[in-house]
């Protein structure tokens, strides 16, 4: 029935657009969208035509870019997926200080295009993630220091289809309220078909970073956590810690710290992260990498398929005792059958200057949060769902208590889906609610941390 109806949409779309019932792959299959049909659009007009068609016939729709959104979806039946992956162009301005990134471009294709044009652009740090999927919620990435802000701060203009099916240009002077709202809560307000973002012209020999992993045995856990807590990251440095598997065949849990220093050398890198080297890692893979390889080691982490409920917390400080408790809970879960790829993630990004001054400019909240923490339960056996949710919720609560806040200041792109909206949108929520009533009064964009 749904498919037959959609056959009447197909003739209205551009040549090359298709409609299929084959589901698109996603990073996690846990509570993933329930797609009835997928419309593979090839133009902005196709997006607008599909949105209008869905409105006229009462279908709920959802845009998909990189398919990495790990939050749980509401399980809406007969959902229409608007697959943006053909809108994947990346076009540099003649002066190379801006780039127009298509609504379906992923990180790796964007980095490749930027590298070929001798520029750097701010993207997420995993090659399979949708560039705009990440940017519209905030956008953490290695180049925050270089660009001087988060992903939302690098956006200069958006082209988007709004709930009424109109195609709009949105920037600081044209629809400024929508520009504010979409830079933090984008998926609630429109389907972005392209974004103009800042780019930094940079010669090839300067498009490098000193980067790699240090691996520690678990007895060093408290020291590692304390060192990360105390490191003052300069704007061009990033540090992550993972609890993860050492690999086949026995998947012993280990502590992995990844380091990144823009234009670093082995000497400046080791000096910047000296406290972590002093602890005595059992392995050190750091080396100098070109721009196109900064994310390569994280590729296994981008794999689509399998079940991966994630729970998160934004933290102001790290308590080694709490991180030991998290380790113990993680190790218990990770040894269950098929769960060996599960991981705990801690991200430390530099505290970019002017954070507070930027808050009124974009709706992204929680700029003062210093660390992002997440437990990624990862398995194939559906029977583990209950254990995964229990483990994830318990770990999230350990983080909340250790941080001393009533709530977790969750990053929308890392959140699980069960958090109160106040926790996701922070102080921006009241104004976002007002703007939602103005721009999406029928609540057409209702699948992603729906603002009501």
Ligand X SMILES: Cc1cc2nc3c(=O)[nH]c(=O)nc-3n(C[C@H](O)[C@H](O)[C@H](O)COP(=O)(O)OP(=O)(O)OC[C@H]3O[C@@H](n4cnc5c(N)ncnc54)[C@H](O)[C@@H]3O)c2cc1C
**Interface with ligand X by CB under 6 A: which residues?**
27, 62-70, 84, 103, 124-126, 129-130, 132-134, 136-141, 186-187, 191-192, 301-302, 413, 447-448
Q: Which residues of 300-335 are buried (b: 16+ CB within 10 A; e: fewer)?
A: ebbeeeebbbbbbbbbeebbbebbebbbebbeebbe
Complex with ligand X: residue 82 or 199, whichever CB lies closer: 82
- 61: which residues sit within 8 A by CB, 6+ positions away? 50, 51, 54, 79, 80, 81, 82, 444
Q: For 117-242, where are the alpha helices, taking DSSP H only?
A: 131-135, 144-147, 151-154, 176-185, 221-230
Cβ-based nearer residue to ligand X, 220 or 367 = 367
Q: How far is the CB of 357 from ligand X (least distance, A)?
A: 21
Instruction: List 261's β-bridge partners, or say none.
Output: 210, 237
Cβ closest to ligand X, residue 53 vs residue 364:
364
Q: Which helix (H) or strand (E) holds 150?
A: none
With respect to ligand X, which residue has the nearer C-beta, 70 or 108?
70
Residue of 164, 137, 141 lying closest to 71 (CA atoms): 137
Are residues 180 and 363 in contact, defined by beta-carbon separation less than 8 angstroms? Answer: yes
Residues shown for the chain: 452
Residue indicated by tokens 């890692």: 281
Contact 402, 387 (CB under 8 A): no
Strand partners, 194: 102, 159
Q: How far is the CB of 220 from ligand X (least distance, A)?
A: 26
Q: For residues 284 and 231, give the distance between their C-alpha atoms in angstroms, rounded to a whole number.
A: 19
Instruction: Work out how close the CB of 195 gets to ligand X at its nearest, in angstroms, rounded to a whole number.
Output: 8
User: Closest separation between CB of residue 268 and ligand X, Å?
Assistant: 23
- Are 154 and 147 in contact by the 8 Å Cβ rule? The answer is yes
Could you tell me which of 72, 48, 44, 69 has the C-alpha nearest to residue 132? 69
Is residue 110 within 8 Å of 172, Cβ to Cβ?
no
Q: Which is nearer to ligand X, 98 or 413 (CB)?
A: 413
- Which C-beta is closer to ligand X: that of 38 or that of 272? 38
Is-contact 225 241, C-beta < 8 A? yes
What is the smallest separation between the CB atom of 236 and ligand X, expressed in angstroms? 16
Please state the closest distance from residue 351 (CB atom) to ligand X, in A.
Answer: 16
As measured in angstroms, the least distance from the Cβ of 109 to ligand X is: 13
Shortest Å, Cβ 377 to ligand X: 13
Q: In the numeric block, which tokens belong to residue 417? A: 């889906």
- Computed on alpha carbons and rounded to an integer, the radius of gyration of the chain in Å comes to 21
Nearer to ligand X, 19 or 191 (CB): 191
Q: What is the closest distance, in whole angstroms, from the C-beta atom of residue 443 to ligand X in the complex?
A: 14
- Residue 86 Cβ vs ligand X, minimum distance, rounded to whole Å: 12
Residue 337, C-beta contacts closer than 8 angstroms, at least 6 positions apart:
379, 381, 384
Cβ proximity to ligand X: between 65 and 334 the closer is 65
In the bound state with ligand X, the residue whose beta carbon lies nearer, of 216 and 448, is: 448
Between 139 and 264, whose beta carbon lies closer to ligand X?
139
């Amino acid at each position: 029935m749904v498919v037959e109806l959609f056959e009447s949409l197909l003739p209205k779309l551009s040549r090359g657009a298709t409609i299929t019932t084959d589901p698109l792959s996603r990073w996690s299959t846990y509570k993933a969208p329930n797609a009835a049909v997928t419309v593979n659009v090839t133009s902005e007009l196709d997006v607008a035509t599909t949105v209008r068609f869905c409105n006229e016939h009462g279908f709920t729709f959802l845009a998909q870019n990189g398919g990495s959104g790990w939050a749980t979806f509401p399980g809406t039946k007969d959902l229409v997926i608007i697959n943006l992956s053909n809108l994947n162009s990346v076009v540099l301005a003649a002066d190379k200080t801006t780039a127009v990134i298509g609504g379906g471009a992923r990180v790796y294709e964007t980095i490749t295009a930027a590298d070929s044009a001798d520029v750097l652009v701010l993207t997420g740090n995993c090659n399979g993630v949708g560039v705009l999927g990440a940017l519209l919620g905030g956008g953490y990435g290695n180049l925050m220091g270089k660009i001087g802000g988060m992903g939302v701060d690098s956006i200069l203009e958006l082209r988007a289809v709004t709930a009424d099916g109109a195609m709009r240009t949105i920037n600081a002077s044209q629809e400024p309220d929508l520009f504010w709202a979409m830079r933090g809560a984008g998926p609630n307000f429109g389907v972005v078909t392209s974004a103009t973002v800042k780019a930094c012209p940079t010669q090839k020999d300067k498009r490098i970073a000193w980067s790699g992993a240090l691996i520690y045995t678990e007895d060093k856990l408290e020291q590692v956590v304390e060192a990360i807590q105390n490191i003052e990251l300069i704007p061009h440095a990033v540090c992550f810690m993972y609890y993860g598997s050492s690999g086949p065949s026995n998947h012993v849990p280990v502590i992995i710290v990844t380091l990144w220093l823009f234009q670093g050398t082995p000497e400046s890198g080791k000096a910047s992260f000296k406290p972590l080297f002093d602890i005595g890692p059992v392995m050190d893979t750091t080396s100098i990498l070109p721009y196109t390889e900064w994310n390569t080691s994280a590729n296994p982490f981008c794999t689509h398929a399998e079940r991966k409920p994630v729970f998160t917390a934004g933290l102001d400080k790290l308590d080694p005792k709490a991180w030991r408790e998290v380790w113990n809970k993680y190790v218990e879960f990770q040894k269950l059958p098929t769960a060996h790829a599960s991981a705990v993630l801690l991200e430390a990004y530099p505290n970019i200057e002017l954070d507070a001054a930027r808050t009124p400019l974009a709706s992204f909240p929680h700029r003062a949060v210093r660390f992002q923490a997440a437990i990624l339960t990862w398995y194939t056996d559906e029977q583990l769902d209950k254990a995964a949710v229990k483990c994830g919720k318990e770990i999230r609560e350990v983080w909340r208590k250790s941080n001393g806040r009533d709530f977790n200041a969750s990053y929308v792109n890392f959140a699980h889906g069960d958090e109160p909206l106040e926790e996701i949108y922070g102080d921006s929520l009241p104004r976002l609610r007002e703007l939602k009533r103005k721009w999406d009064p029928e609540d057409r964009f209702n699948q992603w941390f729906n603002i009501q």
